[in-house]
Every structure is written in C-alpha cells, then in structure tokens.
Structure 1
Amino acid sequence: MKRVRQQKILQLIKEHPITSQRDLVRALAAAGFKVTQATVSRDIRELGLVKVAADGRLRYVAPRTRGKGDLDEARFRRLIRDAVVDVETSENLVVVKTFPGAAQGVASAIDQVEWPGVVGTVAGDDTFLIVVKPRGRAAEVRNRLRALLAGEKRE
C-alpha cells in the first residue's frame, strides 16, 4: 500500500500545485487514500520531495534524478535566492534560515553541489545546519551563500 500511495503522491505533485502537507493529505483523501499528516510527512521525506518556488509560491516537486554534484548552477542559484532568508556561522557550523518548508530542499541542494569543506547538512522545516571542516571554512561557506543571495556569481 505504501508504494502505491507514494506513486500517487508523485503523480499528484506533478499534476497539481501541492503547497503544504495539508494539501497533500486532502488530495490523497480525494484519491481514496486515508492518511494522516504524519504519514504524509514520512512519505515526503522518503521520496525526497523538495519545495521550489513556482508562480510566487512554494510547491512540492520530486527531486531530479541527477548524480551527486550534478545540480544545474542556475537552478541552484535560483533556489538559494527564492528560499533562503538568512545565513550565520557558529564555530564550524553555518546556520541557514529559510522560508517554512524549504530547508530540506535547500540542504539537499547544498549536499549535491559538494562545496569544499562541507561535510554534510542537517535540516528541519525552516532551518538547516551545514557542517564544515575545517572550522575556518565556515565563514567561506557563509560568504558564498550570501553572495548567491545578493545575486553575485561566484565560482
């Protein structure tokens, strides 16, 4: 049943602008699936769904099936500008604030671009951490993100 439900989720987000877990629960109910928000939350995480800006709103989309480190640079820059609100550092961590629901998608994108010094990310709903090694690189990662927010192109 889970596999069938998750296939339906992928179909629904492709065909409709699903902007929240509540919207997805309703759409699944209309399609004959009785689910809770907790079930939908797990499905979203397992499917790796991300929120992207479309028509001035964030909506769920399936991740592209690209290899690690193969994220389109223009798409990455747009994702950062559309979703990130603030960037700060603390020791070897970069703390990134996003719009609600966008942290996991942006964190996944950061993991895909494989910046030097980035060990990995840990994401919540509207905040994620970038773990940086060595500690001195945290400011470099923060500055790189801020440059992307400002619309600067940096290599």
Structure 2
Amino acid sequence: MKKNRHDKIIEIINNHVVETQEQLASLLKDAGYDVTQATVSRDIRQMKLTKQVTPDGRQKYVYTTADPEVMHDKYVNVLKAGFVSMDLAQNILVIRTVSGMAMALAAAIDALDIEQVVGCIAGDDTIFVAIKDCDQAKEVMKAFYDMLGMH
C-alpha cells in the first residue's frame, strides 16, 4: 500500500504544482487514498521530497534521485532563495526567512546533514536550529554564511 501511495505521490508532484502537505493530501484523497496530513508528512520525509522554486516564485515539491553533490547545491539554493537574516542565541541559530519558507529551509538544513546540528523547528518565517554547543553554533553560523556567499 505504501509503495503504491509513494508512486502516486511522485505522479501527482510531477503533474501538479504542489505547494503544501495539505494540498498533497487532498490530491491523494481525490485519487482514492485515505490519508491524514501526518501520513503525508511522514511520506515526504521518507521519500526525501524537497521544495524547488518555480519560475513564478512559488515553491513546489519535487522528487529526485540525484547524487549527493547535486542535492547539496539544491539545498543551498533553497537557503539562498528564502534566507533573510540569522542571529545566534547561545547554541541556537535563529534564522529569519521569507514568509512561508521556513519549513522548506528547515528541511534543506536537515538534508544538508551537518554533524553539529541536532535539529530544526520551523514556523512560518523563523527557524530555530539547535546546535550541540555554543562554539559549534558559531562554526555552523559561519558555514551557513559561507554557503550563502555572505562572508
């Protein structure tokens, strides 16, 4: 059942501009799949779906099996597209984003698999990135600035 649902998700995101989990859940229900938003959220994580900026500036889910280096560049591009500012509070990086993009940036940060990052919590335009300790937080902040080309 899950394999069929994952195949349907790929089909849906290839044929539609799907911007939210709720929209994906609705399209799955229309296709005959009885899913909850929690199931869709879990599927997105398991399938490692990412968001990509469309030519008109919207965000949409995409599925890719590209190599890690290509994916790293995509995640950095997501950071660049939505980043507004960053500040440090002890071992927590507080990242401000364009409104509505915090979840996409948090997913990109998680996907970058930075060793010092414990995890992210995202709202609408703010992300809290928990780092193992204060010294490592400064290193991660510098690494983000380097990725963003902001030395």
Normalising by structure 2, we get a TM-score of 0.74
Tell me what 1:20 maps to.
20
Q: 1:33 to 1:78 in 2, by over 3 A?
A: same
Q: 1:94 to 1:44 in 2, by over 3 A?
A: same
Specify the code of the residue in structure 2 equivalent to 1:110: L
Query: Over the residues paired in the alignment, what is the CA RMSD in angstroms?
Result: 2.7
* Secondary structure in structure 1 of the residue aligned to 2:4: helix
2: CA distance between counterparts of 1:41 and 1:76? 19
- How much does 1:28 deviate? 0.9
Aligned mate of 1:124, from 107, 121, 125 = 121
- How much does 1:103 deviate? 3.6
2: CA distance between counterparts of 1:45 and 1:89? 27
8 A contact 2:92–2:128 mirrored in 1 = no
Structure 1: stretches of 5+ with no match in the other structure: none
Q: 1:25 to 1:74 in 2, by over 3 A?
A: closer
2: CA distance between counterparts of 1:107 and 1:30? 32
**CA offsets per residue over residues 41-71 of structure 1, 9 Å max, x none?**
221122222222122011111254424xx34
- How much does 1:34 deviate? 2.2
- How much does 1:25 deviate? 1.4
Normalising by structure 1, we get a TM-score of 0.73
2: CA distance between counterparts of 1:59 and 1:129? 23
Q: 1:60 to 1:73 in 2, by over 3 A?
A: closer
How many positions carry a matched residue from both structures? 144
**1:45-84 aligned within 5 A:** 45-55=45-55, 56-67=57-68, 70-71=69-70, 74-84=73-83
Structure 2: stretches of 5+ with no match in the other structure: none
